[in-house]
Amino acid sequence: MNTKLAKIYAKALFDAAVAAGDLNAVLDDLQLVVSIGASSEELRHFLNLPQIPTNAKKNAIHRIFEKINKYTIKGQRRQIELVQNFVILLIDKARQYLLPQILTEFNNLVDEYKGILEVYVTTAIPLSTPIERRLTKKLEKLTSKRIVLHKKVNSNILGGVILRIKDLQIDGSIASGLRQLRDKIVVSDA
């Protein structure tokens, strides 16, 4: 349920950011707000306590955004007002707790808009640069998107590769192959 709500709010913010013509600034400002919330347990607690009046929460947000504005580097593109109004809307609807999920969904929408696909690759040993380039080119050809690889080394897979693209996981690891072989042997022995 929360993921569905987060997607709805993220899409609304995304549409507003596209209309404002500055997706990157909205993304940056949203990331900043979420990181401020993540770094302050007191702020998260304050914003999520139902006993705290909504106006007190809004005032706290206004003060935070005033400080962000104050410390913005001259010439730096910001969409403070849009993001501030969005956070205020979330507070009005008692949905501020969704901000981290909204950021994730917003980021996914921005990537999709820009033709970027994040791929998570797990290998037993680090990928060499030539293999990483070949894998990236192959995935770009298959998906017609610009690939961003997130590499992870896990020696427990023994060899091979595990790819995760959105909700799809392709397990080509030796450990997985050995498990499947073991399961076949156990089934045939029964």
Give which of 22, 19, 20, 23 is closest to 106, Cα–Cα.
Answer: 23
pLDDT given at position 76: 66
- Cα dist. 169→57, 88, 120 in Å? 41, 38, 9
Q: What is the pLDDT of residues 120-129, one digit of tens each?
A: 999 999 999 9
Q: Strand 146-153 and strand 116-123: pairing?
A: parallel
CATH class of the domain comprising 2-112:
mainly alpha
The list of the chain residues with pLDDT below 50 reads none
Q: What is the pLDDT of residues 25-37, one digit of tens each?
A: 999 999 999 999 8
- The residues spanned by each domain of the chain are 2-112, 115-189
pTM, entire model: 0.77
